[in-house]
Amino acid sequence: MSGAAVKRTPFFKVLIANRGEIALRIMRTARRLGYGVVAVYSDADRDALHVREADQAVRIGEPLPAQSYLNIDAIIAAAKASGASAVHPGYGFLAENEDFAQACRDAGLVFIGPSPEAIRAMGNKAGAKDIMQRAGVPCVPGYQGADQSDAVMLAEATAIGFPVMIKAVAGGGGRGMRLVSDAAAFPDALRSARWEAQGAFGDPTVILERAIVDPRHIEIQVFGDRHGNAIHLGERDCSVQRRHQKLIEEAPSPAVTPELRARMGAVAVQAVKTIGYEGAGTLEFLLDRDGSFYFMEMNTRLQVEHPVTEAITGLDLVELQLRVARGESLGVRQEDITFSGHAIEVRLCSEDAGHDFMPQSGTMALWQMPGDARVEHALQSGAEIPPFYDSMIAKIISHGATRDEARGKLICALEQVTAFGVTTNQGFLIDCLRHSVFARGEATTSFIGRNREALAPRADQGSDIALAALLLYVTNPHAPQWRRGRSLAATFPLGLRIDLGHGVQEIEVLRERDGSYVAARNGDRFSFEIDELGPDNIRYRRNGLMEQAKFLRDGDRLFVLHRGVTLSARDLTLAPPESAAAAGGDGKVRAAMNGRVVAVLVKAGEEVAAGQPVMTLEAMKMEHVHTAGVAGTVSSIDVAEGEQVTTGKIVVEIEAAT
């Protein structure tokens, strides 16, 4: 296409139709290039950092995504009100919604992404597979037909052969995806996948695929412009996943040779040229152990993990998006792309890895990020993490000359992360990076599942409890102030009752005459010599080893960062003993988090067994099944489907069987 025939679409102010770290990431590049930036926000994000950092910000609705970040009319109106002439969708929410891209076009706004036609062609998993199959690209066997009836879906799944994968056609990020092992489990999995797909993408349609056992998840970053140019920027390995959602990504992949990279890259570029694709996109593949690869889907947007590609190519992918959206050429040819070193990214999430990665919301009392790594986040101390959105709260990226160097840098950076107030997966990520399988570059999509026990929270709870008890003792405002050196005072042990999230622990703490402290629990004695005690840090010696920890005392709560693991302790010494209610032993099932009721699975008067599912709650884009704590009869159902509930609310009551 000649330069004269290319339509230019200049713009000077960009509205970012997203939130959190990606909104700030886009702002950074847009401002560097001289664009004004506009934020949008829901009521839950009124005081969020991305709102305060923007030139302007427009309210678009109530907290739930359907009422705000998925509200096309509200976002278009916000662009008009602010004077923005372009819209960047970020990732997630409406980023791959063809109706949103069309609405921007109809409103005279530049959509910083592919055309509605390209999103329709490649953003839909079923349509993308058809295009790839016609082009001769190997695809995972499956069913992507229009008949979505329960009977047909079950029949097709049976014909494919279990295990099968259910996938939402309209999105990614693991939402609307279920691995089903047999026909008996298929109906419930299908219902759940459809509901999640509807809530996340506004489309309940799903496809079926044969489950490829133990593959690697490889994706190829591509770019196209309206001048007919198309390039790829190499691959990313995104195999380390939980719940089909990525946790660790790296570039290049330890499993991809230069020859394989060239073959996969050529396939990806051909796909871009075939549909006249403009902007950033990612083609995702499953890579088998024998080197065979199968196309899964194309993401017609920027990816969460784009920083690792930026690190090894030296390119700013958001800048390329903005230039292509203006009608400029990419300005870089395939032969210009070079790769330098290795980069790894981890997703820091507000979730409890020890309890099935259950999302966590609440107030982040203290938030401090490492200064010697690239960190993408939108939090600060005192910020609220709402239950309505994805659990990812930060991305930490390292780059090194070698993979081992990048991995070591990332572990050091993670050990410095201070996230007090809301449980995160910080320690779990460190354990993943340190694991021998990952260190050897051999992790597949089954890495977490196969190594779950080794990646569980560390078993050395005795010393953790002792350290927490010591800090509760020496930071108690009513306790004698710590001073270095010997003590002439009599040593009387103080009994403490503390809870680190896995039951109440009884422990005694006393100070010896030589100035050291002893914490005794269940016959074990832990001795500490304190070298320095500051307002938020302690340096101490135990068994001749000097260590340091950072802490925050907040009333009866204590948060401790020790060797990259964050502990949260509650001082129950003066609190009355807790009943069995918290564990559901009183027959009352309580919401484990803030969220929305999506399914009530029992009826009043129904007999239930202990451990039987009774209610499904959705929080941070994932479903969580709540079970009966006792066997008995359902006496009351205290919520309705669609209702928003808070942590601890009684949702179902069961009269225990005699």
CATH code of residue 475 = 3.30.700.40
Say if residue 468 is in the same domain as residue 339.
Answer: no
Q: Are residues 422 and 493 in the same domain?
A: no
Query: How many domains are there within the chain?
Result: 5
Q: What is the mean pLDDT of residues 9-13?
A: 97
Higher pLDDT, 640 or 595: 640
Q: What is the pLDDT of residue 458?
A: 63
585 pLDDT band, cuts 50/70/90, is low
The SS3 call for residue 134 is helix
Share of the chain above pLDDT 70, in %: 95
**509 forms bridges with which residues in the sheet?**
494, 519
| pLDDT score of 642 | 83
Please give the single-letter amino acid code of residue 648.
Answer: G
Residue-range definition of the domain harbouring residue 385:
216-450
Do both 270 and 413 map to the same domain?
A: yes
pLDDT band at 611 (very low <50, low <70, confident <90, very high): confident
Does some domain include residue 131?
no
* Percentage, residues of the chain above pLDDT 90: 66
Q: What is the pLDDT of residue 98?
A: 94
Specify the range with the lowest mean pLDDT, choosing from 103-117, 133-147, 344-358, 545-559. Answer: 133-147
Residues 561 and 632 in one domain: no
In a domain, 119, yes or no: no
Among the three residues 511, 539, 571, which one is the final residue of a domain in this structure?
Answer: 571
Spatial strand order in the sheet of 142-143: 142-143, 206-210, 164-168, 178-180
Element (H, E) at 427: helix 426-434
Which of residues 184, 210, 236 is at a domain's end? 210
Catalytically active residues are: 301
pLDDT(1) > 60? no
pLDDT (tens digit per residue) in 171-228: 666 788 899 999 999 999 999 999 888 877 888 999 999 888 899 999 999 999 999 9
Per-residue confidence (pLDDT) for residue 577, from 0 to 100: 63
CA distance 222 to 232: 4
Q: Residue 579's pLDDT is what?
A: 46
What's the CA angle centered on 364, arms 358 and 369, to 5 degrees? 100
Q: Which two tokens stand for residue 216?
A: 């690697």
Residues 534 and 597 in one domain: no
| 546 and 584 in a common domain | no
Count, residues in the chain: 658
Which of 61, 91, 112 is the last residue before a domain boundary?
112
pLDDT in tens, 321-367: 999 999 999 999 999 999 999 999 999 999 999 888 989 999 999 99
Task: Quote the pLDDT of residue 580.
Answer: 45
Place of tokens 């009269």: 655
**Given this model, what pLDDT does residue 3 score?**
47
Answer whether residue 127 is part of any domain. no
Global pTM reads 0.85
pLDDT digits (tens, 9 = 90+) for 241-270: 998 899 999 999 999 999 999 999 998 998
Report CA Rg, the chain.
27
SS (H, E, C) 245-296: EEEEEEECCCCCCHHHHHHHHHHHHHHHHHCCCCEEEEEEEEECCCCCEEEE
Residue 472 has pLDDT above 60, yes or no: yes
Give me the chain's average pLDDT, please: 91
Preceding amide of 163 cis, omega within 30: yes
Q: Does residue 456 lie in a domain region?
A: no
Closest C-alpha to 478, from 574, 560, 575, 568: 574
Mean pLDDT of 595-604: 88
Same domain membership, residue 515 and residue 488: yes
Looking at the fold, whether 50 and 199 belong to one and the same domain comes out as: no
Q: What is the CATH number of the domain that holds 283?
A: 3.30.470.20
